[in-house]
Amino acid sequence: MPPRETILQTFDPSGVGLDNGNLYGLPFDYDSAGIIIFGVPWEVTVSYHEGTADGPGAVLKASPQLDLYDLDNPDGWQQGIYMPPMPDWIRQRSDAGRREASRVIQAMEQGVAIAGNPDLEAALAQVNRAGEQVNTWLRGETQRALGLGKRVGVIGGDHSVPLGAIQALAQQYPDFGILHIDAHADLRDAYQGFPYSHASIMSNVLALPQVSRLVQVGIRDIAHGEVAKINASQGRIVTHYDPVLKQRRYQGTPWQALCEEIIAPLPALVYLSFDVDGLDPKLCPGTGTPVPGGLELEEVFCLVRSLIASGRTLIGFDVSEVGAGDWDGNVAARAVYKLCNLMGLRA
């Protein structure tokens, strides 16, 4: 592959999207790209719909259909975006782990105790070991990319997948915040017995002392224990519930004003964790746990645009819980591209 300088001189961004195995048909490889996007086909602990393990592939398939001109960053493609091949072992362990996790989940839903049942204890341990392996892999890959001066994004898979990337960022940055877009708070501790559950990602993130603030947007499906955790956090967790945001919109508060209020508590460096079930389900109907309500895609872009305009720096992102359908892949591909371009405005 030629160096980036040669690619910039020879590639026509207005040409036909190439089916070359890379996101958006861009002609970059690992060495020439400034942004590495890791696809993680993993959905072991999903507790409702399956299919998000196919999400990264759906985004990759849809991405060459996008035109590359971006109103926020017209030359953003020149940063170089590259998605390495997804390791086969991750999908294989996801499929095997899903079978074991389903047995555990079904037993719990029927009131069967896992403790003291050797077969179910073994299944639970197998799932948890596999989750740790994926987490370790992504942490190592992210550390490598960051060490080479690259920026990183993640496409899931269920929402457990970005933990390794966030852990790697915590080793590089002593203080940063999380902007979390989601229908769910994801603050459960080892939900259903799985430490790396999709419903526990933010609980795991908060175990990192480098994360000084978690700001959540779009939350509308939440447990009593999670609300108690938010209320007891002494401001470390700031949650904007979707019904409250909508009520304020109905009463006349502009979305731009709400965006500025949402980002105000965040520190200078911010990681964006974007579960697409934070959107109106019409946009990603195949997501793992859809909930009525939610944001429009342009409202999310406005929020991130406001973050960048405030002088804050986006240090990484994930787009998680993408479903397997063509429409889900289309919407998520546009989200990933926009986030790459907005991140590039303050590289």
**Would you write out the chain's pLDDT as a tens digit for each of its 347 residues?**
788 889 999 999 999 988 899 999 999 999 999 999 999 999 988 877 889 999 999 999 999 999 999 999 999 999 999 999 999 999 999 998 888 888 888 888 888 888 888 888 888 888 889 899 999 999 999 999 999 999 999 999 999 999 999 999 999 999 999 999 999 999 999 778 788 888 999 999 999 999 999 999 999 999 999 999 999 999 999 999 999 999 999 999 999 999 999 999 999 999 999 999 999 999 999 999 999 999 999 999 999 999 999 999 999 999 999 999 999 999 999 999 999 999 999 86
Quick one: pLDDT at residue 289?
A: 92
| Residues 56 and 31 sit within 8 Å (Cβ to Cβ) | no
Quick one: pLDDT at residue 110?
A: 86
What are the start-end ranges of the E strands in the chain?
Answer: 35-40, 81-82, 151-156, 176-181, 211-219, 237-241, 269-275, 313-320
| Residues 156 and 40 sit within 8 Å (Cβ to Cβ) | yes
Quick one: pLDDT at residue 116?
A: 85
This prediction has a pTM of: 0.96
CATH no. for residue 69? 3.40.800.10
Query: Structural domain of residue 250, as residue ranges?
Result: 4-344
- State how far Cα 339 lies from the chain centre: 11
Domain count, the chain: 1
